[in-house]
Amino acid sequence: MSSPSLSGASEPPDPNLGPVLIDANELQARVTELGRQITDDYAGRAPLLVGVLKGAFMFMSDLARAVRLPVEFDFMAVASYGSSTKASGVVRIVKDLDLDLSGRHVLLVEDIVDSGLTLSYLRRNLLARGPASLEVCALLVKEGIQEREPDFRYVGFRIPPTFVIGYGLDIAERYRNLPYICAWAG
């Protein structure tokens, strides 16, 4: 199988791009399903979507349009990777929230869950701020590398434990603009 091109069109393949794991149509169909589920689950409430930057921005944008409720947005940026393909194990908040979470129904929107350490840290941090509820919506969960089975309300796809890029996910800030998710071959 040849490597995909950046646009998916008939340009020369990029040798850094491995096989496509989730194509653009699959992504949009699953995001629409998640939006319907969130709309049903949060009926009568206006959830606050908290996106984890930078990776979740594309997913959160599409997800918000699929939720048929009034929603609000806020963003956090955390660092645990740098320019590496492996998490460092050290999490630091680079950009904190602007809004108060007290009494709010918060939906934390994550691009990918690897070991779960970053997400565990974020959950503890956000719960300490007194939300009425806190749930997680993760686009991707890597299988078999968390210490215990993750308990998330909303999961887009479970994938093998390989490094992936596209649809917001990057390597050294590149490839976020791919409309699909593929393995990193570089």
Catalytic residues: 114
Cα separation, 59 vs 32, whole angstroms: 11
Residue holding tokens 């919506």? 137
Sign of CA dihedral 76, 81, 83, 86: negative
Alpha-carbon dihedral 177, 178, 183, 186, rounded to 10 degrees: -60
Q: Which tokens sit at 55?
A: 């990776």
Paired with 75 in beta bridges are 51
